């Protein structure tokens, strides 16, 4: 209500300062004093704008803090669950004593293939994430990624192309370099300066469920294996394997369902689609348990990799903010 009154006052001042009489918006004149000087009107208009947008910014900042606190709590739970998981040999998994054993064999085979044969790649990543109680609209990014190998650190470049509010944003991160910080900038008229921040800091995590250090198909499969090893300690697990079309290619879909919500499980349903020809994951999606009986499970996250080009020969210049191919401000 307070912001509404300030906004109405701003409209009155705007009318009196900038609009011809025939175009003035009708507002009860009792809201402002007559015979106010032009300078005072401008000062009050500026003050009103500052109050309105200051309140809006503070409100949204608090919402973001709440979301990040919830995300951090979820991350601590995930990290604790996968911290000291018991490793299981492939020979043990072939006994198929748990529904997740077949999942682990498929995931390990894919991860070994990625680590042994794929040095780098480019792709389009479409993602949708729930942070706190808010499900974001789909984001689309063009990505360049060098996998973590013995002689090279994980390196990530992303260019946001959708939605319009983040179009043109570029982010670069190389593990262990630049004090492990990202270098980023906004697009369009907001491309005024570089942002250099810890990759998992408050600013870098705004609007993100995971840090940029978790980006890529190699990290995706690694996390899937850790979670499967953790969940293997428990029952109440259903696994379905099928062949589907996903992300424009023929895939084997792994679908894992925990029918009953338990403290030791972090999701209700997870799906991973693995390209049958290239043996790489192209999609991951997960859902939480529905809040009421009969309701649809709420989507937690979905990541889809399309237009993947493998081993394209990325160089250090592809992860250099000063490269002429990028639009970083000086």
pLDDT in tens, 193-202: 999 999 888 7
- Return the DSSP state at 149: B
The second-level CATH assignment, the architecture, of 85-319 is: Clam (2.50)
Strand, coil or helix: 127: strand
Indicate the range of 108-112, 130-134, 272-276 predicted with least confidence: 130-134
Average pLDDT over residues 169-184: 95
CA distance 321 to 44: 42
CA distance 48 to 7: 7
Q: Which of 106, 280, 141, 268 is nearest to 212 (CA)?
A: 141
Q: Which residues pair with 272 in a beta bridge?
A: 254, 284
Q: Which residues pair with 257 in a beta bridge?
A: 238, 269
Q: Which of 49, 2, 5, 53 is nearest to 28 (CA)?
A: 5
In sequence order, which residues have a C-beta less than 8 Å from that of residue 314 and are 6 or more positions away? 120, 122, 144, 145, 146, 155
| Domains of the chain by residue range | 2-55, 85-319
Residue 77: predicted pLDDT: 54
Rounded to 10 degrees, the C-alpha dihedral 57/59/64/67 comes to -170
Instruction: Give the pLDDT confidence of 210-246 residue by residue, as tens digits.
Output: 899 999 999 999 989 999 999 999 989 999 999 999 9
**pTM (2 decimals)?**
0.76
Q: Has residue 8 got a pLDDT over 50? A: no
């Amino acid at each position: 209500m307070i912001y509404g009154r300030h906004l109405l006052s701003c409209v009155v001042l705007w009318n009196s300062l900038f609009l011809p009489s025939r175009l003035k918006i009708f507002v009860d004149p009792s809201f402002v004093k007559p015979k106010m000087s032009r300078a005072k009107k401008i000062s009050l208009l500026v003050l009103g704008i500052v109050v309105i947008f200051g309140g809006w910014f503070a409100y949204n900042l608090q919402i973001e803090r709440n979301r990040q606190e919830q995300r951090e709590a979820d991350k601590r739970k995930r990290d604790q669950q996968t911290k000291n998981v018991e490793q299981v040999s492939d020979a043990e998994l072939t006994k198929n004593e748990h529904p997740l054993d077949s999942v682990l064999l498929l995931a390990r085979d894919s991860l070994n293939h990625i680590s042994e044969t794929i040095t780098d790649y480019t792709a389009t990543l479409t993602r949708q994430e729930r942070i706190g109680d808010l499900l974001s609209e789909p984001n689309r990014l063009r990505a360049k990624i060098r996998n973590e190998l013995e002689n090279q650190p994980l390196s990530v470049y992303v260019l946001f192309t959708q939605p319009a509010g983040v179009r043109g944003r570029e982010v670069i991160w190389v593990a262990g370099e630049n004090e492990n910080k990202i270098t980023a900038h906004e697009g369009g008229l907001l491309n005024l300066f570089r942002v250099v921040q810890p990759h998992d800091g408050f600013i870098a995590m705004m609007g993100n469920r995971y840090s940029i250090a978790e980006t890529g198909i190699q990290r995706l499969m690694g996390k899937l294996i850790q979670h499967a090893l953790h969940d293997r300690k428990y029952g109440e697990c259903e696994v379905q394997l099928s062949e589907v079309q996903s992300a424009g290619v023929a895939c084997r879909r792994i679908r894992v369902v925990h029918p009953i919500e338990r403290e030791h499980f972090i999701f209700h349903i997870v799906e991973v689609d693995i390209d049958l020809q290239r043996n790489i994951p192209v999609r991951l999606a997960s859902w939480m348990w529905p809040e009421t009986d009969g309701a649809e499970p709420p989507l937690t996250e979905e990541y889809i990799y399309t237009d993947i080009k493998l081993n394209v020969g990325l160089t250090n210049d592809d992860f250099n903010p000063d490269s002429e191919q990028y639009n970083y401000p000086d």
